[in-house]
Each structure stands twice: as structure tokens, then as C-alpha cells.
Amino acid sequence: MENNQFKQACLEKIIADHQSGSAKIAFVALQSLADYSQRSVMTEPATYLKDLNSFALELQQTRPSMAMLTNIIDAWRQEVNKNENKNPQSNLMTLKQVALVKANGLMMQSSQANDRIVQHVCELIADKSVVLTHSISSTIINCFTKLAKKKISAIITESRPGNEGLLVAEMLSKSGIETQYITDAQLGLFMPKADVVLLGADSILADGSVVNKAGTYLTALAAHDVGIPLYICAENFKQSRKTYETIHLEEMDTTEINLPDLPHIEPRNIYFDVTPARLISGWINEHGVQTITGVPST
């Protein structure tokens, strides 16, 4: 495949992926950068770097609601560009190696962060708890896989319109976790049956509010009303400096809504909502459980 075609294919794949969580999408983007860094045909170090940086920016812009995509690629660019600034004489081969090694290093760092989150979650959740989640998150799936040993059961939502809940159901089924599968509209009905809510995040905004799949805000309202603790499980790469006012909430193709053409009726398909920090019991990152006061809860 020609290199421009390769880049285009990578971008389109990420734009079209409406089911994966943001960590998985960030990994796919970083892997695309790593692959592209090796197949580049640029011969001058400066041109090579400029081309890589430009592809990196294009990848970041594919999914503006996902802080992790921005952050992990920023971190990669910083490392790669820093190397060039320190060693302006770097030859192309060194640069290519740095690009690859740094990408792999960041993916490793993120995986380790996720392992630690899973550990913190497993310490928090009591045996035989009923855990409710909405939408899909690779972090939460990893938690469930480990929590299976604690004989927990689950309540999960279908998560219209992408129906990511089906993927979650398939994975919980394999882990042998007894699961109730509900429509998004039944979230309030089933909340009193849950002991705890665990959710991933696409971004954590400056004030701790959480950008995640549409319906997360409703989940949090119901948990708060019923008095069920709700934790956001997200590595530090998902921290964003954006606020409710500056975050862009992506709207996807409205054909997913399956509405026939009707005069005056406009289908809407905004994928993400923002859950205020006041509805969240704690944020679990690689360093432990953070609460609104900043003191890790035990």
C-alpha cells in the first residue's frame, strides 16, 4: 500500500470505529504512528519528523472527545521531537528507532497503569457484589475478568445506538459472570439492584467531570438518587485540560438512529455526555482511588 493510502486507511479506521473505548482507539492510533514511522520513505531527518508530526496531528483530530488520544500522541511527539532537539545530527535510522521505541514504551506504560487500576478496583469491590456498567471500556472489561473470581454478578446496558453492550455481554459470558442485560431506559429501574457502578471514561475534564458515552450522566443521576457509589476507572492519560465549555462532544452519523425520512424530524446522535464531578464517588487511576477532596479513600 502506498504511504498516503496507508495514512488515510488508518484515519478512516479510527473515525469509523464507534464501538471501541478510547484506550483501545488511542492504542490503534499510536500503533498506526509506529507502523508509519517505519515505512516512511522520507530521506531527510527534518522532513521525516515533519511528516510524522503532521500524521500525528491528523490522528489526534479524529476523535476530539477522547483526551487519551490527544495525550498519548502528545507524549509521543514530545519524546520524539525532544530527541531531535537534543541531537540535531541524529541520523534517520536513530530517529526511526526512537519513534518505534517511544510508541511501544507508551503503550507499555498505559498497560501497566491499567493493571494497577484493575488491582485497585479488585481491592475495592466486595465478594458477590452486583456491579453495574454502561457502554464499553477496556479497563472495565479487564476489571470484570479479574472480579469473576470474586463471584460478582453484573448489570449491563445495550448502549444504543452502537450496542457496545453486546460486546460486553460476550466477554462477560466467557468469564462466566451472571449478567442481566437491559435497555438504556431501564437503568433507573435496575439501579436499586446494584451495589456499585463502575464506568470507564473518554476524558476527565479539568474539574473532574467525566466525558463518556451518552447515558453516563443518566446512570450517575440514578446512582446518586438511589445512593449507590459510582467510580470512574481511567488512567491519567485521560485527564484533559478542557472544560465543559471547551470540550467538543462528537456527533456521529445519524443513519445509526434508523429513523425513516420524515419532514420536520431531525435524528440526533451525539455520542458523549458530561457527568458532573458532584455525582461521582471516586476516580480510580493508576495511583489509587481519588475522591473529590483529593484524599485517596480506603
| Nearest to its own copies of 1, 265 (CB atom) | 265
Least Å distance, CB 168 to its own copies, is 9
250 half-sphere exposure, CB direction, 13 A CA radius: 20
Q: Which stretch binds its own copies (CB under 8 A): 18-26, 70-78, 200-208, 266-274?
A: 266-274
Least Å distance, CB 66 to its own copies, is 17
Q: Which of 1, 88, 126, 170 binds its own copies (CB under 8 A)?
A: 170
Q: Which of 159, 239, 281, 290 binds its own copies (CB under 8 A)?
A: 159
Is there a contact between 220 and 275 (Cβ–Cβ < 8 Å)?
Answer: yes
Name which of 14, 33, 16 is nearest 24 in CA terms.
Answer: 14
Beta bridge partner(s), residue 289: 284
d(CA 54, CA 193): 49
Could you say whether residue 264 binds its own copies (CB under 8 A)? yes
Q: CA separation (Å) from 254 to 185, 250, 268?
A: 20, 12, 6
Least Å distance, CB 143 to its own copies, is 17
Could you say whether residue 64 binds its own copies (CB under 8 A)? no
d(CA 207, CA 281): 14
Could you say whether residue 200 binds its own copies (CB under 8 A)? no
Q: Is 74 a catalytic residue?
A: no
Beta bridge partner(s), residue 157: 182
Among positions 216-245, residues that touch its own copies (CB under 8 A) are 217-218, 221-222, 225
Could you say whether residue 295 binds its own copies (CB under 8 A)? no
**Which entry of 17, 74, 127, 202 is annotated as an active-site residue?**
202
Q: Which of 21, 200, 208, 215 binds its own copies (CB under 8 A)?
A: 215
Q: Measured between alpha carbons, how far apart are the two ends of the chain, in Å? A: 53
Residue 297 belongs to what H/E stretch?
none
Q: Which of 51, 158, 235, 286 binds its own copies (CB under 8 A)?
A: 158
162 half-sphere exposure, CB direction, 13 A CA radius: 23
The DSSP output letter for 273 is E
Catalytic (active-site) positions = 202
Binding site for its own copies (CB under 8 A): 157-161, 166, 169-170, 172-173, 176-190, 213-215, 217-218, 221-222, 225, 249, 257, 259-260, 262-270, 273
